[in-house]
Structure 1
Amino acid sequence: MNRLYFAILPLALMASQATAAPLTDPLRFWVGRTETVSTIKVMMKKAFKTRSTGRGEIKPDGTLELVQRVEDEGQAPRERRWRIRKAGPNRFVGTMNEAKGPVVIEEVGGRYRFRFKMDGNLSVEQWITPQPGGKSGRSLLTIKKLGLTVAKSEGTIRKLD
């Protein structure tokens, strides 16, 4: 279950819809350097801190390629890779090396909902709420197994450049 703790692309503490700041081009938020800092709580375990630093770029075909260095407290650092593209109005799809199958992202009321599966029959849902100014976001992540919540994460994502 160590690999599921993080799943966080980016990352999320769900703020109220009133504070959501819509982004004109959400993929561009990830261009350059970003940092995600969060706390993860897995059922029956002590909460721990996680931090990821990412570097993203938009490829000529319009696909976002994001590489993150993930540092979970007490674990060796690892690399997470995302490839995300626009798939229609308010919808994005792609891959992430720790996901089993596609990553689906939908814009809902100015917030972004990420959904994907992971090993162990785990379902991940992450909400990212852009903050005013477009340089940061709040994140809330929930991981479920057989419909039961087994882990939660709250955090902040910010652009570093």
Structure 2
Amino acid sequence: MLERFCAMLSLLAAATLGASVPTHLDPLDFFSGHSHGVGTIWIVFKGTQPLRVTSSGRPDGHGGIILDQTIRRGSEPPKNRSWNLRSTSPTTLTGTLSDASGPVTGTVSATTLTLDYPMKGYLRASQTLILQPGGRVLLNHMTVSIFGFTVATIDERITKD
């Protein structure tokens, strides 16, 4: 429900501002090449910190993509991680993430990508990425929870270079 509301707001804003409205999000295409993200991360008992992510995506040779990322959170040392994603249908994808404890599943609906995956320590991550007018920016909202309680959130603007 929230993802539909956010997508509708994005389309309404684009129509109001006269911007071009993307008609379809292709996550594998969007993340091919270089992109960068800027945002914030909030972690329970730690507060909010700045977040910067640089990404480089390339075909995996089997119809999917390998996405290598460097994550900089606050003053902590950079952390590297890698995604391997592939489409399983026009509206679904699956894959792996180096710091997940199980498979990544995803659903694509018009301009929205929703990802879900387990993390270590009984944590669960859910991400909603919404393509913005012009097709070069995704807004990413991520929630990390344990037993249904939110323990971290990320709000990030990802721009395709």
Q: TM-score, normalised by structure 2?
A: 0.85
User: Is the CA contact 2:27–2:113 (under 8 Å) kept in the aligned structure 1?
Assistant: no
Is 1:152 the counterpart of 2:153? The answer is: yes
Q: Which residue of 2 aligns with 1:48?
A: 49
User: Is the CA contact 1:14–1:138 (under 8 Å) kept in the aligned structure 2?
Assistant: no
1:104-155 deviations in Å (ceiling 9; x for gaps): 1101353111100111100100000001111111111101001111111111
- Structure holding more helix per residue: 2
CA drift at 1:74: 1.7
Q: Which residue of 2 aligns with 1:140?
A: 141
Is 1:79 the counterpart of 2:80? The answer is: yes
Q: Which residue of 2 aligns with 1:4?
A: none
Cα distance, 1:149–1:24 mapped onto 2, change above 3 Å: closer
Between the two proteins, the alignment pairs up a number of residues equal to 148
Q: TM-score, normalised by structure 1?
A: 0.85
CA drift at 1:60: 2.4
Identity %: 28
User: Is the CA contact 2:25–2:131 (under 8 Å) kept in the aligned structure 1?
Assistant: no
**What CA distance in whole angstroms lies between the structure 1 residues aligned with 2:26 and 2:150?**
32
Is the radius of gyration larger for structure 1 or structure 2?
A: 2
CA drift at 1:43: 1.4
Give ranges in structure 1 of 5+ residues lacking alignment: 1-12
CA drift at 1:15: 7.3
Structure 1 outlier segments of 4+, above 4 Å:
none
SS in 2 for 1:125: strand
